Amino acid sequence: MDEAGSEHLERARRLAPEIAAFAERIEAERLLPAELLALLHEAGLYRLLLPRSLGGAELDPRRFVEIIETIAMADASTAWCLCQAAGCSMVAAFLKPAVAAEIFGNKRAILAWGPGPARAVAGDGVYRLSGNWSFASGGRHASWLGGQAPVFEADGTPRLGADGQQAVRTLLFPAERAAMTDIWRVIGLREKALAAYRAGFRTLLFPAVNLKDIGDIPPDVRDRLELVPVETMDEVFAIALHRVILPQRVAGQFVIEVDDDETAGEIEIEGGEQPRAARSSKRG
């Protein structure tokens, strides 16, 4: 194993007991506590896939996975947040060096992003972005956020790509320019049903063992949902394929809103320099 990979793996192993000690607090607070974040930053665990030119470790995938696996054995939520942030950080290689340095120059930088109904209006070398994104894993720890949005011309017509399809971009902006609404409380069938309903879903597949909890779902929501109990993944696939349901995700941790009137005009992203790697969202 290369020296950087060995060093970061050893750091992860040393931190594992401390991470495990935070597990109950993470579960109760539904985020990584500030003290734990400080330890992770100090160990460089948020910069595992970031290019060396930006102070990252630039590890190869096998080394990276081994480190994340080590963290996951201590606490899965911490590993999830680190893994998602690392995936987002890889966008740095596709940005102009000055832009990448602005986003990742801070050693405590974290980028999180996700999909959702949004709109990006192209201007003179910039985009005006507004939207409501349904999740962004690690969003409450992030210094920068990304919002995926279809692109429109200034006159309101869709901007088309070479393939004739509407262009879609993930635009990056400072986290303080977004407002977060906490909607991610999914312990139990009630909260899962509420999250699905708020996200616009009208069919909910759930484990048959939770049938006893259907009464916990508010009647006005229960009456508007098709609730389908399942016992095996074979049943899930059979239902999904039969109905031609494309893979989707129920609303994730937080809704990120950017006010069109007050904020969108302030968010300027350089045109023509959007990272190819950012065109597909990550689970947030």
The pLDDT value recorded for residue 277 is 30
Place of tokens 């000690």: 21
Do 143 and 227 fall into the same domain? no
Do 24 and 132 fall into the same domain? no
- Report whether 228 contacts 252 (CB < 8 A): no
Q: Which residues contact 249 (CB under 8 A, 6 or more apart)?
A: 134, 135, 283
HEC string of 84-142 equals: HHHHHHHHHHHCCHHHHHHHHCCCCCCEEEECCCEEEEECCCCEEEEEEECCCCCHHHC
Burial of residue 148, with CB atoms counted within 10 A of its CB: 0-12 exposed, 13-18 middle, 19 or more buried: buried
pLDDT in tens, the chain (284 residues): 477 789 999 999 999 999 999 999 998 888 999 999 999 999 999 999 999 999 999 999 999 999 999 999 999 999 999 999 999 999 999 999 999 999 999 999 999 998 778 999 998 888 999 988 877 889 999 999 999 899 999 999 999 999 999 999 989 999 999 988 776 665 678 877 887 888 788 888 888 888 888 888 889 888 888 888 888 888 888 887 775 433 333 333 333 333 334 333 333 333 333 333 323 233 33
- CATH at residue 269: 2.40.110.10
Do 10 and 82 fall into the same domain? yes
Do 66 and 30 fall into the same domain? yes
Residue 271 lies in a domain: yes
Query: CA-CA distance, 12 to 189, in Å (whole number)?
Result: 35
- CATH at residue 27: 1.10.540.10
Do 174 and 258 fall into the same domain? yes
Query: How many domains does the chain divide into?
Result: 3
Query: CA-CA distance, 159 to 157, in Å (whole number)?
Result: 6
Token pair for 86: 């690392």
Within 10 Å of residue 198's Cβ, how many Cβ atoms? Answer: 14
Query: CA-CA distance, 111 to 143, in Å (whole number)?
Result: 6
Domain of residue 197, residue span: 189-242
Do 274 and 228 fall into the same domain? no
Query: How open is the CA angle 229-216-75, to the nearest 5 degrees?
Result: 75
Residue 139 lies in a domain: yes
Do 57 and 30 fall into the same domain? yes
Do 41 and 156 fall into the same domain? no
Per-position DSSP letters for 162-177, written without gaps between them = TTSSBPEEEEEEEGGG
SS3 205: strand
